[in-house]
Amino acid sequence: MSVSTWQAELAVDCRCTLGEGPQWDAKNQRLYWCDILGKQLHWLSPATGESSHYQLDHRVSLAAPLAEGGLLLVGEDRLSRFDPSSGSIEKWCDFEADNPITRSNDARIDRHGSLWLSSMGKSAERSAGSLYRLHRGELSRLRSGLTIPNAICFSADGEFAWFTDTVTGVVMRWELDSDGWPQGEPQPWADFFSSQGNPDGAVMDSEGCLWLALWGAGQVVRLDPNGEIVGRVELPVSQPSCPVFAGPDLKTLYITTAQEGFSAEQLAQEPTAGSLYVVETGIKGLAEPPLRLV
């Protein structure tokens, strides 16, 4: 099988400690991403090239566009409404607020306009994390005992969800019912345990393939519906964290990266680690609905 390859280039030289959670706001034509450890929400307007960030008072891992406007911030101990035009932030509900060792991690909106979101230990404590679904304003725990939940994404027809516990190296596929709730047990779908890099964030394209960041390997791989690698994006930095399709035609792939855990020597070798990267693959992404809270 031939594997297509692409080279990612620097898009925004932001040098986040832990860049994560890239999310396209189609209504406002803005890309958002987070520096979880830096407590920042970054944004880019691809049409103008303008970019900046908001400084927050807590760790946030995703800014999800809301159907009624504004964003829902997925934070370390709370979910909050955020108005990008004014910068105002208002707590909406608690999120593992009674557990001081955890913070939020990977999250993505499903085909029903509901949000799957996860938690993990701040120091990646084993089995401290959980996976949740926020459906019409109600938060339900789907799974616990996870260490670093990642790679949350969904098939176009809403029949399957994918996720991984990064430390296992295995991407799992979970069958969903007609309302988007998991059925039975998730099944192993793609195994990276013995390969270079650890599975991190993921996004689906319009052709039914999954794009998966391989943390530590400097790559994002494209996996076909059988979990086989059919494409590969090479980055000049080693810790890509999550890809997302953005732009008016959803044909531009952006990739967040990190410099978390780097020594001074590693930083000297990868000075732009933590920045936002971009690649034009010619492949269209899958449009995601805005988040519905009611």
Token pair for residue 140?
């339900």
136-175 pLDDT tens trace: 999 999 999 999 999 999 999 999 999 999 999 999 999 9
Name residue 12's beta-bridge partners.
276
Three-state helix/strand/coil letters over the chain: CCCEEEECEEEECCCCCEEEEEEEECCCCEEEEEECCCCEEEEEECCCCEEEEEECCCCEEEEEEECCCCEEEEECCEEEEEECCCCEEEEEEECCCCCCCEEEEEEEECCCCCEEEEEEECCCCCCCEEEEEEECCEEEEEEEEECCEEEEEECCCCCEEEEEEHHHCEEEEEEECCCCCECCCCEEEEECCCCCCEEEEEEEECCCCEEEEEECCCEEEEECCCCCEEEEEECCCCCEEEEEEECCCCCEEEEEEECCCCCHHHHHHCCCCCCEEEEECCCCECCCCCECCC
Residue 66 pLDDT: 98
Q: Can you tell me the mean pLDDT for 190-213?
A: 97
Provide the pLDDT for residue 257.
98
Write down the pTM of the prediction: 0.98
Tens digit of each residue's pLDDT (9 = 90 or more) over 233-270: 999 999 999 999 999 999 999 999 999 999 999 999 99
Q: Domain 4-280 sits in which CATH superfamily?
A: TolB, C-terminal domain (2.120.10.30)
Q: Are 162 and 171 in contact (CB under 8 A)?
A: yes
Identified catalytic residue from 35, 77, 200, 205: 200
Predicted local distance difference test score (pLDDT) of residue 273: 98
Tell me: pLDDT of 2 over 90.
Answer: no
**Which of 290, 293, 294 minimizes the C-alpha distance to 63?**
290
Mean pLDDT of all residues in 70-79? 98
Q: What is the pLDDT of residue 162?
A: 98
For residue range 136-145, what is the model confidence (pLDDT) as tens digits? 999 999 999 9
Tracing tokens 């027809």 back to the chain, one arrives at 157
What pLDDT score was predicted for residue 76? Answer: 97
The rounded percent of the chain whose pLDDT value lies above 90 is: 99
Mean pLDDT of the chain: 98
Query: Is pLDDT above 90 for 231?
Result: yes
Section 5-32 average pLDDT: 98
Is 200 marked active-site?
Answer: yes
Domain range list for the chain: 4-280
Residue 205, pLDDT above cutoff 80: yes
Q: Residue 10 — very low, low, confident or very high, per pLDDT cuts 50/70/90?
A: very high
Query: Where residue 1 falls among pLDDT bands split at 50, 70, 90?
Result: confident
